[in-house]
Amino acid sequence: MTARLASYWEIGAPLQQPARDLPRQTDLLIVGAGFLGCWLAYWISRLKPAWAQRTLVIERDLIGYGASTRNAGFLTGGHVSEMLADEAECGFDALFAQFLRRRAGLALVLAEFPDLPTDPCGSADYDEVTEAKRTLARRVNAALAARGEAPAFETKRARFGGTEREVFFSASDRGVNPMQLLTRLRASARAAGVKFAFGVRAQAVSGGRATLALPDRAEPQELAYDRAWICVNAFDSELVSRSPIVPGRGQVLVSSPVKAATSHHLGFLHDGYDYFKFVDGRLLVGGGRHRFRAREQTTELTPTDEVRQYLLGLARTIVGHDRFSIDHAWAGIMGFPQGRHISTCHRTDLDEVTATLNACGGMGVALTPLVARDEALRLP
């Protein structure tokens, strides 16, 4: 078995105790304790508190082993280059609706956890500023103005690798430590009575019965439920036949503390396939999936040397020198509906009492609060 490489955010995070016993029945079952599962537990406890003590969350790992503790921690509504590519695929209306949902999700995170440390550094899109992008940015800003909202995008000068260039800048985007957010979600749900069982892998979930593998138990255990949500994201096809979710591995490097000739914003490159930010004086850089697309379509959580070399080259360009080392490297797995970048469909009913919730792709830090809140509000 390959060693589990901790993400930068997971270092020092306490492992949860593996579950020893499970009940034979629960009213509500949530499978997967990533952002989607934890936000759902959180909203149930906040908005439908009578259900909190009747809710069980199970997670195969002792932290969470998918995307939520292994991402880049960008709280963002989106950036212009990515949105131009999405517009070509799905049209302006769907694109703008998604943008509004991401902004609303971002606002929810800040409103629900005002004490959560975030970096109000804004984001810069370092791809070339073209006429098509200016037109799209103006259109988004005009659509926001029609709703009485402030513009999202402006152009300004920013430094990149020692030279200045014009970028689209979004002032409301922020950096966040995703582990800190996840920890708060769990603590809040637990305080309201939601139970979490870690180290428990669902083998089958349907029709009111779940088959669960517990740590150190030879035989799986059956659990009856009244309603279940499968929130396992890229691992959906292990539980759902004909799942439309296509996995996409994302790899991330974090450097030693480094002086960089680049502005300290969240940074996007190559339509957002590559991204970087500065955390604790270090450079975090991720991406490369577009360069190695076929091999990155996997649920395997081990980073690869080819992507590491690609990201290392990118890191040198960003900071403008090579006087740093790579202190942390890891991979996480995203889930894309039919492999598409953008999706407004997050819920699929599998039977009368079982649904899947997923498809937040590379946008889940901002999208999951909203998707989960909509779901919690459906409860009586």
Ligand X SMILES: Cc1cc2nc3c(=O)[nH]c(=O)nc-3n(C[C@H](O)[C@H](O)[C@H](O)COP(=O)(O)OP(=O)(O)OC[C@H]3O[C@@H](n4cnc5c(N)ncnc54)[C@H](O)[C@@H]3O)c2cc1C
Residues binding ligand X (CB under 6 A)? 31-37, 58-61, 64-68, 70-74, 201-202, 231-235, 238-239, 250, 252, 286, 332-334, 358, 360, 362-366, 368
Q: Which is nearer to ligand X, 84 or 279 (CB)?
A: 279
Closest C-alpha to 39, from 16, 64, 70: 64
Q: Pick between residue 45 and residue 358 the one whose CB is nearest to ligand X.
A: 358
Smallest gap from residue 321 Cβ to ligand X (A): 25
Shortest CB 90 distance to ligand X, Å: 18
CB contact set of 88 (below 8 Å; sequence gap of 6+) = none
C-beta of 28 vs 145, nearer to ligand X: 28
Buried b (16+ CB within 10 A) or exposed e, 117-133: ebbebbbbbbbebeeeb
- Cβ of residue 332: shortest distance to ligand X, in angstroms? 3
**55 membership: H or E segment, kind and range:** strand 55-59
d(CA 25, CA 11): 35
Nearer to ligand X, 202 or 223 (CB): 202
What are the structure tokens assigned to 172, written together? 């409301």
Nearer to ligand X, 158 or 311 (CB): 311
CA dist 154 and 137 (Å) reads 8
Please state the closest distance from residue 191 (CB atom) to ligand X, in A.
Answer: 20
Distance CA(12)–CA(19), nearest Å, equals 21
Tell me how far apart the alpha carbons of residues 41 and 195 are, in angstroms, rounded to a whole number.
9
Least distance between ligand X and beta carbon 131 (Å) = 28
* Cβ closest to ligand X, residue 104 vs residue 320: 104
CB of 358 to ligand X, least distance (A): 5
Q: Which of 145, 143, 169 is nearest to 156 (CA)?
A: 169
